[in-house]
Structure 1
Amino acid sequence: MKKLKVTKGAKCMACLECVRACSTSFYKEFDPDKSCIQIIDKKGDAKPMVCVQCGKCAEACPEGAITQNAKGVYMINKKKCTGCGKCVEACPFHVMVKAEDSPTSSKCIACGICAKACPMDVLEVVES
């Protein structure tokens, strides 16, 4: 299974470069609310929240628009997605995105854009 993972022992400095890379790549603007990776910073201890490909979004989708590919990544079929947002509500990590100006939801597809942007090498795409 292919997925984005937080590198063990790596320290996130909450620079938001991963968030910037994700939202810019998919929405052509830096907007943390449009990123499929979020940084939670509690008292100086920053932690990236990433999609672990759990499938809760797929279970919640009434249209069957979210399916798992051969590599284990849950993908959204934009032609089937109605933008209802049930997948966003179901995501336990709050990394599903439904931007107001987008007709469909989006999620992490383990593309690695955020990992490449991270100056601290906190993120990695792995096969498990």
Structure 2
Amino acid sequence: MKKLVVAKKDACMACKECEIACSEAFYKEFDDTKSCIQIGVKKDGETPKPMVCVQCGKCAEACPEGAITQNAKGVYMINKKKCVGCGKCVEACPFGLVVKADDKEYASKCIACGICVKACPMEVLEIKEA
């Protein structure tokens, strides 16, 4: 299975380079609400907490159109041609990482492409293949 993981949890400095890279890749603009990776904060209210898709499949289970399927590497992918933009996948994601921008007809989610990994100056993220 291929997935994005947080390799160095304590190294994140909330620079948001990963969010910028993701939103620019999917939407050609920096808008952190359109990023499929999010930098939240831990319970202390200060420490950055990178949140990444764990490829759990809850988005696929919620999709009434069958637009989200798992590929051979274990990554859940959204078929833009099948997606009707209903937002059920957005609601189903336990981490709030499936994105449905108002100006798009379809949702987007992490596809473990590694763009955020390359953008991170602290090497917090990595793509794992198990």
Structure 2 letter corresponding to 1:57 = C
The alpha carbon displacement at 1:20 in A equals: 0.2
Gaps in structure 2 of 5+ consecutive residues: none
The aligned counterpart of 1:127 is 129
- Identity of matched residues, %: 75
**Residue range with higher mean Cα deviation, 7-16 or 86-95:** 7-16
The alpha carbon displacement at 1:11 in A equals: 1.3
Taking the aligned partners of 1:51 and 1:116, their CA distance within structure 2 comes to: 17
Number of residue equivalences:
128
**Residue range with higher mean Cα deviation, 78-87 or 3-12:** 3-12
Secondary structure in 1 aligned to 2:127? strand
The 5 Å alignment of 1:20-59 reads 20-42=20-42, 43-59=45-61
The aligned counterpart of 2:83 is 81
Secondary structure in 2 aligned to 1:79? coil
The alpha carbon displacement at 1:8 in A equals: 4.1
Gaps in structure 1 of 5+ consecutive residues: none
**Residue range with higher mean Cα deviation, 33-42 or 95-104:** 33-42
Whether the aligned pair in 2 keeps the contact of 1:4 and 1:125 (CA below 8 Å) is yes
What RMSD in Å do the two structures reach over aligned CA positions?
0.9
Taking the aligned partners of 2:127 and 2:101, their CA distance within structure 1 comes to: 25
The alpha carbon displacement at 1:10 in A equals: 4.4
The alpha carbon displacement at 1:89 in A equals: 0.2
Q: Which runs of 4+ in 1 moved over 4 A?
A: none
TM-score by length of 2: 0.95
